[in-house]
Structure 1
Amino acid sequence: MNKQFFSWDAFNEAPVVGIMRGVSMDTIHRIMPIYSKAGLTTIEITMNTEGAAAIIKEMRHVYPNLNVGAGTVCNLDDLFKAVDAGAQFIVTPIVNEDIFTTCKKLNLPLFPGALTPTEIYKAWSLGASAVKVFPCSQFGVGYIKDVLAPLNKIKLLPTGGVDKSNIQAFFKAGAVGVGMGGSLFPKDLLVEGKESELEEHFRSIKVATEAVCEPA
């Protein structure tokens, strides 16, 4: 049965938001069975991907065991397109208060992008499910640890610069999840014929989360 709502249990089993940008429907259908088989549970299609709404709608129908959300949602127009397509969660690169208000009314999990302590605190105060610390690639693990020292009640989801070599360090620093794009979906493994290598790569990410994350 196709579940309507975001599954926090599934997310907590593998607290990685896989970010797919600029991918085709054919690529989605080739990769997602491998992604799911490896134990990963949450996928984001960015709204600046051509045909993003159609891809989200198709994925909700074909892959009911995955959390399927929309990313790069910067305005209400994109938000409503994502909601109409069946997105189960929303990710933004910015703090847009109109998006917070609407997601709250719809009971839709929201991971807004913020960077400075002030932005992070504001996003959390407005009702973020977790704050996407973005772009984390320029700041690294130490920044997450520093922010959480005074703001230890806030759930952080660093995005940008997270890869297999440092994912455990981000969780040990206190992150509740991570967002991963190119490091999770390396172009050289997305081509046909690399399915076994891709599955091994996905499984290595899943194992890395298991080493430091306890089930919720």
Structure 2
Amino acid sequence: MTGESPMREALPARTRASRLIVVARARAAEDYDRVLGALADAGVRSVELTLTTPGTFERFASLRERFGERLDLGVGTVTDAEHLARSVQVGADYVVTPIASPALVAQARDAGMPIVPGGLTPTELFGSWSAGASAVKVFPAGQVGPGYLGDLRGPFPDIAVVPSGGVDAEGAAAWLAAGAVAVSVGGPLLGDAFRGGDLAALGRRAAAFASVCAGAAS
């Protein structure tokens, strides 16, 4: 039994509709602009900016001003209360954490901030879900595969899952067909974009992923 459903913040509407979150892990925050522009032009509607990129918080306001009408901008790799509070302060649309932390989920709920905490085991994932997470991130998804979602749905029929880690276009389609609410994609889509790679090629990859996810939603 899952018990009484807790109150939880929904993921932003554009993220829910597109079913695709692109994880942007750049070498420096100054590299975000050219890549986010190409992603938005290709039909991506949700990007997670990671705190492993130096200067993410400092750059956030300008990115929100430039891209906020076209992109949901989340903050990822949030691992402590200070990170989460600052994410709220800068106006993130959602936060993502690689860990299963009921304390962070509770803090996000109190702030009205959608949160997607990570985990792999049923205990970790259900612990975050039952605490009121908006969705739970299965990470690393490549170690389990889409069939894992069916296993989770046995005891936890309502759990909302976002797979992350090693998800390519074929995997994205399979996870969404299995019932994932969205997929979180990094390297297979971004390729060498943050190392000076061709933006036209990035746009083609991004459009292909967006099309796959939109098709899975139809």
Question: What TM-score does the superposition give when structure 2 sets the normalisation length?
Answer: 0.89
Find the residue that maps to 1:70 and give its secondary structure.
strand
Structure-2 separation of matches of 1:89 and 1:8 = 7
Distance 1:56 1:6 in 2: 22
User: 2: distance between equivalents of 1:98 and 1:168?
Assistant: 33
Q: Secondary structure at the match of 1:165?
A: helix
**Cα-to-partner distance string for 1:78-124 (whole Å, 9 max, x where unaligned):** 11222222212110111222211211111100001121112111111
Structure-to-structure mapping, 1:78-97, within 5 angstroms: 78-97=83-102
Aligned residue runs from structure 1 range 136-215, under 5 A: 136-187=141-192, 189-192=193-196, 194-214=198-218
Alignment of 1:22 onto 2:26: yes
Identity fraction in percent: 31
Q: Which residue does 2:49 correspond to in 1? A: 45
User: Would you say the 8 A contact 1:133–1:156 is kept in 2?
Assistant: yes
**What secondary structure sits across from 2:173 in the alignment?**
helix
Unaligned runs of 5+ in 2: 1-8
Q: Report the Cα distance in structure 2 between the residues aligned to 1:41 and 1:6, rounded to whole angstroms.
A: 16
The residue identity in structure 2 corresponding to 1:23 is R
Aligned length: 209
Amino acid of the residue matched to residue 138 of structure 1? Q
Rate the CA distance shift 1:33–1:86 in 2: closer, same or farther, 3 A.
same
Select the structure with the greater relative contact order (CA < 8 A; seq sep ≥ 6): 2
Higher fraction of helix: 2
**Equivalent position amino acid for 2:23 in 1:** I
Which residue of structure 2 aligns with residue 67 of structure 1?
Answer: 72
Amino acid at match of 1:206: A
Q: CA RMSD in A?
A: 1.9
Partner of 1:12: 16
Partner-residue secondary structure (3-state), 2:68: coil
Q: In the alignment, is residue 130 of structure 1 matched against residue 131 of structure 2?
A: no
